[in-house]
Amino acid sequence: IVIVIIAVVLGLTLRQNKSEFESTFLSRCEKFDQYDCKKVWDAFQQAYVNKDPCKVPVEAYDPLIAAAPFKPQCNRMMFWSKTKDVVHGFTEKRDCFVTLEDTLLGSVLDGLTWCGKEGSKDTFTNGCPGWSDCENNTVRSFWIRASAAFADVACGNVTAMLNGSINTPFNPTSIFASVEVPRFIASRVKNLNVVMVIQKNNISNCTDPSLKNLRQSIDTGITFSCKDVSESQIQECGSKPEIACGACW
């Protein structure tokens, strides 16, 4: 009896957030018109439900991407690495740039943790593997797949905000470097404009050697530029809609 009670309590604890997760997913999704959120939810679930949470390959999310495809938004697409708060603080105030997290799939899953379990139809939010616990983990595979799909539709002038307060602003292991940049193709993307976010105690800027690697790794035919811009200048642009976005930096 004790074992049964423990099993039931454990089962309930692991299940408790299931409906909360699904309702968060659906309510965030419903802010976007033109999508059938129930269909998107079903396509999402099939990627990981009833699977070992460490055995969800990137391709498991292909049907999800097909159910909620990314639309190209030429000249407005914004990529980033280690600048999440600055970038989103800016894009939530001004709509001249769009990040992955401003799209349907990115905004629905931003900040969430989920996974499945072999032999179960449920979605769990506790006990899921962390980002680096295993290679094919449920959450990481999603962000890699979504980032690839978002980069695949990049076009025109593409912007990326990198962090001047770290040693290697363009880090080869980042999603930006390893997944997104290799997908920028010259037939679609004209320029890659890096905005180096400079804070008070910055330790790098556009002259950093890692930026040379970035310049060298982009497809020939895509022009490259980099500009050091202070964080306060970015914030000011966010709070002053009368400044044209193109004139912000």
Give catalytic residue positions: 74, 155
Query: The tokens 């943790």 sit on which residue?
Result: 113
Minimum distance between the CB of residue 9 and ligand APR, rounded to whole angstroms? 29
Token pair for 51 = 């699977």
Question: In this structure, which long-range contacts are made by residues 170-173, counting pairs with CB atoms below 8 Å and at least 24 apart in sequence?
Answer: 170/81, 170/208, 170/210, 170/211, 170/213, 170/214, 171/81, 171/82, 171/210, 172/213
Give the CB-nearest residue to ligand APR.
Answer: 131
Window of 52-60, 79-87, 118-126, 194-202 that interacts with ligand APR by CB under 6 A: 79-87
Q: Locate the DSSP E strands across 71-117.
A: 78-81
Verify binding: residue 97, ligand APR, rule CB under 6 A. no
Verify binding: residue 80, ligand APR, rule CB under 6 A. yes
Distance separating the N- and C-terminal Cα atoms of the chain: 68
Minimum distance between the CB of residue 120 and ligand APR, rounded to whole angstroms? 24
Q: Interaction with ligand APR in 190-249: which residues (CB under 6 A)?
A: none
Largest Cα–Cα separation, the chain: 70
Minimum distance between the CB of residue 111 and ligand APR, rounded to whole angstroms? 8
The 122-151 site mask, x for binding ligand APR (CB under 6 A), equals: ---------xx----------x---x--x-
Rounded Cα distance, 56 and 54, in Å: 6
Q: Interaction with ligand APR in 34-73: which residues (CB under 6 A)?
A: none
Q: What number of other Cβ atoms are within 10 A of residue 197's Cβ?
A: 25
The 174-193 site mask, x for binding ligand APR (CB under 6 A), equals: xxx---x-------------
* Residues making contact with ligand APR (CB under 6 A): 79-82, 84, 100, 131-132, 143, 147, 150, 174-176, 180
